[in-house]
Structure 1
Amino acid sequence: MYEAVIEELNHLDGPELLAPLITDLFCGNIALVSSFGAESAVLLHMAASIDRSLPVITLDTGKLFAETIAYRAQLTRLLGLTDLRVVRPQADALRVFDGAGSLHRRDPDRCCHIRKVLPLENTLAGFKAWISGRKRYHGGLRADVPTLEQTDGRLKIDPLARFTRQQIEAYLDRYHLPRHPLLEKGYLSIGCAPCTVACGSADDPRAGRWSGLSKMECGIHRSPAPPCNSARSASDFR
């Protein structure tokens, strides 16, 4: 099934790609995953213009910027999103592996695995397709992002993969969408507060994520991390 959908729709982008997936092919079995970050308003607006009741999943790691939480509330009201699902890490997993809340300093991959990867895996279990906002111009592991791919037994959709930075900015301007408040402070890509610094450029907007480390992604767009070195694995909390 997924192969046929990919072959039929792979040439489409943006709303033209989203509409048949949301309203027909995966109606009731598709969700959008959003960080409510620097460019999130574009994809959220596209989806809301098609179906405001589309499930929107967002990960609250417990370490978000206050500005991100406020922006999430602002966009939810503005776009009329009716099914926002705020997903948090399991308390038992945090207690066992990050009781002091400092795991991000010692092992950022493990921290992301517990606070992002596992909660999202659990939440997506009931869906056949999900939408993310990756773009090729972000570079790194995203340079060749496909618009449609089959992964982990479901269809993954990146309707903005081929969009340029100029197209994103033009869309924001056209629909008068509010920018994330941290943009004016120099944050071009926004994740968890302890692991994000104010920097980046048009050529490398994600430079401020895990600055100084070889880490480039949180893990939700690649295979899960290996088990923890503990008598109990994070997978115990799935």
Structure 2
Amino acid sequence: MNAFDPAGPRLDAAALDARLRAAAPTEIIAAALDAFPGRVAAVSSFGTESAVLLHLIAQVDRATPVLFLDTGHLFPETLAYRDALADRLGLTGIVTFQPEARELAARDPESALWADDPDACCALRKVEPLARALAPYGAWINGRKRYQAATRTDIPVVEADGARVKFNPLAAMARPDLEGYMAAHDLPKHPLEAFGFASVGCMPCTTRVMPGEDPRAGRWRGRAKTECGIHIAEGI
């Protein structure tokens, strides 16, 4: 697949968002695939809530590319969950991306950048590999929801994302909606959820969540950081 041409025809993300605001998640996913035939990919962390989006994608098109970032710091349970869930849902388009080995050697030779500069670590291990992974695509689908954190309360269903368009088909879903969907379709949970991990990222920067905390409170706990950067970086 050739690289996406950012100077090519543009889609009016705001107009499409207005049309899809009340649409069902499968309708939003189908609209993304129709608007960008062969040029849309989903991005999944295979975290605690990922099964819902992936199951919905499988209902629309099991061959949809699903990009997964293996940062090198992930829990082994996450890697096992990726494989089990992909097999369970019959997803055939999963592609795993990793940081460039030369960049790791130059910028994080001791694999300790997460402790000294978590923003730089996320840039190296998440933002830059995702930019490379998304290079051929004009749009991407992700699993963010408005309820997850204060930084996400106003996310639209469709939004401009630099040169691309980003689809958020689960934006309006609340935690009870997700739990009900998981139960109704007998979807397996991430193994670490049983141990109090409501949101699972990289091992060094993920802790358990206490009762009453928002689901992402365990990410970068004690640091002035709430996002890894892939949803705020321009032009990826």
Normalising by structure 1, report the TM-score: 0.90
Q: Deviations over 1:148-171 (max 9, x none)?
A: 101111110111111111100000
**SS at 2:180's partner residue?**
helix
User: 1:66 maps to what in 2?
Assistant: 76
Name stretches of at least 5 consecutive residues in structure 1 with no aligned partner. Answer: 225-237
User: 1:12 maps to what in 2?
Assistant: 23
User: 2:144 maps to what in 1?
Assistant: 134
User: 2:231 maps to what in 1?
Assistant: 221
1:88 aligned onto 2:106: no
Query: Offset at 1:200?
Result: 4.1
1:159 aligned onto 2:169: yes
**SS at 1:69's partner residue?**
helix
The counterpart of 2:134, out of the listed 124, 135, 152, is 124
1:210 aligned onto 2:210: no
User: 1:231 maps to what in 2?
Assistant: none
Residue pair 1:200, 1:206 contacting (<8 A) in 2 also: no
Residue pair 1:188, 1:200 contacting (<8 A) in 2 also: no
**SS at 2:191's partner residue?**
coil
Normalising by structure 2, report the TM-score: 0.91
1:112 aligned onto 2:122: yes
Aligned residue type for 1:16:
E
CA distance in 1, matches of 2:73, 2:109: 14
Query: Offset at 1:16?
Result: 1.9
Aligned residue type for 1:153:
A
Residue pair 2:143, 2:169 contacting (<8 A) in 1 also: yes
Aligned residue type for 1:42:
V
Residue pair 1:37, 1:189 contacting (<8 A) in 2 also: yes
**SS at 1:105's partner residue?**
helix
What is the aligned-residue RMSD (CA, Å)? 1.4
CA distance in 1, matches of 2:90, 2:101: 30
Residue pair 1:13, 1:162 contacting (<8 A) in 2 also: no
CA distance in 1, matches of 2:228, 2:32: 26
The counterpart of 1:42, out of the listed 52, 69, 83, is 52
CA distance in 2, matches of 1:57, 1:202: 32
Mark the CA change 1:201 to 1:219 in structure 2 (over 3 Å): closer, same or farther: farther
Q: Deviations over 1:38-91 (max 9, x none)?
A: 000000000011101000001000000010000000001001111111000001
Aligned residue type for 1:145:
I
Q: Deviations over 1:184-225 (max 9, x none)?
A: 01100000001101124465011110111110000001026x
Q: Percent identity?
A: 46
CA distance in 2, matches of 1:140, 1:216: 9
